[in-house]
Amino acid sequence: MRTDDEDMIMSAAPVTISVVIPVKDDSAALAVCLAALAAQTRTADEIVVVDNASSDDSAAVAKAAGAIVVSCPEPGIPAASATGYDASFGDLILRLDADCVPPATWIQEVLTAFEVRPEVAALTGAARFIDGPRLLRRPLAAAYLFAYTYCSLPALGHIPLFGSNLAMRQQVWREVRENVHRDDPEIHDDMDLSFHIGERHRLGYLRGTPMGMSMRPFNDAQAFRRRMDRGFRTITLHWPEEFPPYRWQRIREFRRSVPAVLEGAAHADA
């Protein structure tokens, strides 16, 4: 039987953090991303790089940087991301893409935000472009995130998670891992995750330094159109059960029945 002192020590155990990065044939960008993670003011306890059947040296670059490399032969970011979440051990799971460059304070800002808001199950934050025409970086990033957020809000009934800058509690992932659509490569995994977490958990916005990311979504009109098609597919994939009026009503009922303070207590006990 543990003593009261032992219980106090265990309850004060430091929070562990895992960072998950799905990658496919993007070794040069991945090397920059991993270097930025190594320079964090609060480093991760583990970095899980999910090699999604790359034909380049992405896996070797990850291993050289000290990351854990997990193979995911199934195609698509949804499968790769889920594989990484499954493989992680941290109390908090942070996610970004291989072409992202996190600010030095990113991990610490995420950790602090979860400590300040124990009722929140997952966090998402802003981003900025780090390449492309300098004068277009700020307005295009703002337009991109604005469109994503406000096209998703009516379908979800709450803010969406953004895959280049998101974090969630390990316990929450365990609750939804069997329900996410990891086998469909033509959906947005972050929006799908938003559907499954957001109905019964609170999502929060990370107010910190924006995540650096590549402007590649705007380099190819066909690729950008494909992103839009995937967004529509992700939304309709959850219908009719998640048709907005039905979903909004369930969310309202849940919020009334479970106050935020109890949600926070549940996360703390997990």
Per-residue pLDDT reduced to its tens digit, 109-159: 999 999 999 999 999 999 999 999 999 998 999 998 999 999 999 999 999
pLDDT for 9 equals 42
Has residue 10 been placed in a domain?
no
Q: Tens digit of pLDDT for each residue in 223-250?
A: 778 888 999 999 999 999 999 999 999 9
In 3D space, the residue among 206, 204, 194 whose CA is nearest the CA of residue 119 turns out to be 204
Judge whether 134 lies within some domain.
Answer: yes
CA dist., res. 263 & res. 267, Å (int): 6
Q: Is 140 helix (H, G, I), strand (E, B) or coil?
A: helix
**Lowest-pLDDT choice from 35-39, 49-53, 224-228, 236-240:** 224-228
Q: Report how many domains make up the chain.
A: 1
DSSP 218: G
Q: Which domain holds residue 123?
A: 15-269
Answer yes or no: is 47 within a domain. yes
User: What is the CATH classification number for the domain harbouring 259?
Assistant: 3.90.550.10
Predicted TM-score of the model (pTM): 0.90
